Structure 1
């Protein structure tokens, strides 16, 4: 059980906090979110959205720049320096969306005619819809509004406020776009001089988290022989790859369930899901494929290395072969990202919890287990103490029908974001109006 260390605001800090919160503008936040949602930013092609945000943050009073990675994309860094002697705090969000928003998404996304799957924004009262309108663009709009209100309130900062957004935050790996994804953007930022003392990542779920999982991508091959639909079963020399793959899938699904239970610790439960199966040619259904490939993503607890997960899966395959000696199996791990953790006693985690408790008016409970992977893991691996804080998700009560499941992560109810903005504002003032020594540096 993590406890929160009490540290009440001084009279001055309380006045600054109230003044800054009074400047938070829901309509301005909504307008920014609507405009940003209308700028399509699939992973590896976020240049226009990033340049838009760099311009917006400059107009808000920060020193802002667009950091090019290639002709198609780049990142955003904006800074408001304090008077000196304080810590630097980065408010961070990715900027790319997980879908392309065009015909290449089909038929894999299901029915495409949902407002949260389209890169065209729509407003309905307090709602904003469109691909990425919740994640990541609702987060970007909220963090930007916090920074804007802080500046308008004239809070005298000792430390430096950094607002940053990076491409490549989605768990994809796009070869056609310089291998975009898998935290490539934030890694680019952090290895080129963006070096805060602390970071806050805004992500869904109304808790404060001090750690996040990594992920491992695997491909499991079930091998047989090339066949022909005109031959009877039992023909010598023909072995189906597809039918044994069906058995393998069921056993793999159970292994993923057991793996998550076996590797749960801290606040992370590392789930895994089979994401795809590939075999044969749709235009040659008369010829059963000699290989069926099964793809899956399994999350990795910060206290477990990708190498250890690889060894656990190797043992599963060995056991599977022993039970089914007629199965011809091969596999590889083709993607790996370690998890990351920050001490729950670290200043920024404690400050974020104080902000959470101030708004919720209750002690922060043990949060639900976390399985979602974000750039926060990369920040922590770079040695930056990081707190993750969020808002209730998914939004309830939408006036528009939304895609089932994760969908387009594109439905935001603006009033849901405002308590999170107040919590983050608390941590910003708590951190940046003190000396480095006061925050443990």
Structure 2
């Protein structure tokens, strides 16, 4: 990790920066976050949330427009133009939540009584709770507050500020809503006027990242024969698919852990997890299933293609079958998204690192290895230099019970967001008050 390139602010830039930071209002941010969290927006059905943000961004001084993708889905793109001759910077966050937030997902979420799992908002002191209140809606609200403060401070921008939020940002594929997810919304946004010179995406954790992984989804099927509970285990011709699947799961778990280690490089450790096992019919428990299906996601390092990951998995299956010839297996890759990387010396990466160091009062150094996948990978694959910057997560000390593990990503302590807002503001002043020539464009 090379030291951050030093490009000091002029006295005038520092004055603009301090004036803009002074305009950042945590209570206003919290109010917007509460209102947005109260608008349920599962993937493929975030249209109402995007329309709400279109109206809000227009009210704070940006030119905003709603971009429909279907009857229930759409994006928002807003702009504040500078005097001309500068770069355009897109502040971006997805706006959809990863869960439906209803009883249909109980097998995925459990009973989920916690405040962060509910599709409606609660506010206690400096906290906001509700499905997606941290990720993605905490990011949406923070980026909006940064843009609002920048406008209120009347910073004389040379370049253009863009603010974009898109549906389809979650790592899901919702067939019933036109296969929403897997970054379909951000492609729509960029192809309809939203493509900038640089982009900043806000996501956990408290580092600047110049790259993010993709993902690869696999189904591994264990075959047997249809059985019946009333026959003995030595009945001729019956082979269970369920019991051998337990062996396959253990072998697969070991392979996923080894895969992550072997494919770690740069800022990325491409973790993976077995997501579930499917087979049989709960209405017919007397009949053991002829097929047991195991499905999982492994992340894809930007220096590794989905095709290479597919080849690695194929080699694992071949070796497993050679070692355990009694197993009858087949598999498929049913989803893949490539990772994306930006040159770490690119202006926007270095600018965000300067902002990070200005607030943290220490060198940025090597970031913690990353496995989380976001629309940032898609932005980079489309040739847009993109920096990911975030805040400490998960929030600590919540006054209400929150779900263990990932949960609803919906417990936000607003003061945690403010340092990140100031880091992003630094990068905006650093970039939008310079000419294209100064930025090597």
Q: TM-score range by the shorter chain?
A: over 0.9
**Pairing of 1:78-93 with structure 2 (within 5 A):** 78-93=78-93
**Pairing of 1:113-124 with structure 2 (within 5 A):** 113-124=113-124
Q: Does 1:439 align with 2:424?
A: no
The size of the alignment, in residue pairs, is 441
Q: Does 1:351 align with 2:351?
A: yes
What's the offset of the Cα at 1:105?
A: 1.6
Q: Which residue number in structure 1 is paired with residue 258 of structure 2?
A: 258
Measured against aligned partners, the alpha-carbon deviations of 1:319-360 in whole angstroms (never above 9, x if no partner) come to: 000001010000000000000000000000000000000000
Measured against aligned partners, the alpha-carbon deviations of 1:1-36 in whole angstroms (never above 9, x if no partner) come to: 132001110010000000000000010000000000
* Separation (CA, whole Å) in 2 of partners of 1:367 and 1:404: 25
Q: Which residue number in structure 1 is paired with residue 8 of structure 2?
A: 8
Q: Does 1:72 align with 2:61?
A: no
Q: Which residue number in structure 1 is paired with residue 267 of structure 2?
A: 267
Kept in 1: contact 2:164–2:194 (CA 8 A): no
Q: Which residue number in structure 1 is paired with residue 249 of structure 2?
A: 249
**Pairing of 1:112-151 with structure 2 (within 5 A):** 112-151=112-151
* Separation (CA, whole Å) in 1 of partners of 2:440 and 2:236: 72
Residue 277 of structure 1: SS of its match in structure 2?
Answer: strand
* Separation (CA, whole Å) in 2 of partners of 1:378 and 1:2: 25
Measured against aligned partners, the alpha-carbon deviations of 1:367-403 in whole angstroms (never above 9, x if no partner) come to: 1100000000000000000000000000000011110
**Pairing of 1:208-227 with structure 2 (within 5 A):** 208-227=208-227
What's the offset of the Cα at 1:193?
A: 2.5
* Separation (CA, whole Å) in 2 of partners of 1:330 and 1:385: 40
What's the offset of the Cα at 1:157?
A: 0.3
Kept in 2: contact 1:395–1:413 (CA 8 A): yes
Q: Which residue number in structure 2 is paired with residue 377 of structure 1?
A: 377
Q: Does 1:336 align with 2:336?
A: yes
Residue 75 of structure 2: SS of its match in structure 1?
Answer: strand
What's the offset of the Cα at 1:43?
A: 0.2
Kept in 2: contact 1:33–1:128 (CA 8 A): yes
Which shifted more, 319-328 or 101-110?
101-110
Q: Which residue number in structure 2 is paired with residue 278 of structure 1?
A: 278
Kept in 2: contact 1:2–1:344 (CA 8 A): no
Structure 1 segments of 4 or more deviating over 2 A? none
Q: Which residue number in structure 2 is paired with residue 413 of structure 1?
A: 413
Q: Which residue number in structure 2 is paired with residue 311 of structure 1?
A: 311
Q: Which residue number in structure 1 is paired with residue 292 of structure 2?
A: 292
* Separation (CA, whole Å) in 1 of partners of 2:85 and 2:63: 19
Which shifted more, 192-201 or 385-394?
192-201
* Separation (CA, whole Å) in 1 of partners of 2:311 and 2:334: 14
* Separation (CA, whole Å) in 1 of partners of 2:46 and 2:192: 19
Kept in 1: contact 2:3–2:365 (CA 8 A): no
* Separation (CA, whole Å) in 2 of partners of 1:331 and 1:298: 15
* Separation (CA, whole Å) in 1 of partners of 2:193 and 2:81: 15
What's the offset of the Cα at 1:234?
A: 1.5
Kept in 1: contact 2:219–2:331 (CA 8 A): yes
Residue 109 of structure 2: SS of its match in structure 1?
Answer: coil
What's the offset of the Cα at 1:111?
A: 3.0
What's the offset of the Cα at 1:107?
A: 2.9
Residue 82 of structure 2: SS of its match in structure 1?
Answer: coil
Measured against aligned partners, the alpha-carbon deviations of 1:251-310 in whole angstroms (never above 9, x if no partner) come to: 000000000000000010000100010010011110000000000000000000000000
**Pairing of 1:155-166 with structure 2 (within 5 A):** 155-166=155-166
Kept in 2: contact 1:220–1:329 (CA 8 A): yes
**Pairing of 1:188-227 with structure 2 (within 5 A):** 188-227=188-227
**Pairing of 1:158-197 with structure 2 (within 5 A):** 158-197=158-197
Q: Does 1:63 align with 2:63?
A: yes
Q: TM-score scaled to structure 2, two decimals?
A: 1.00
Measured against aligned partners, the alpha-carbon deviations of 1:17-59 in whole angstroms (never above 9, x if no partner) come to: 0000000001000000000000000000011100000000000
What's the offset of the Cα at 1:79?
A: 0.1
What's the offset of the Cα at 1:194?
A: 1.6
Structure 2 residue runs without a partner (length 5+): none
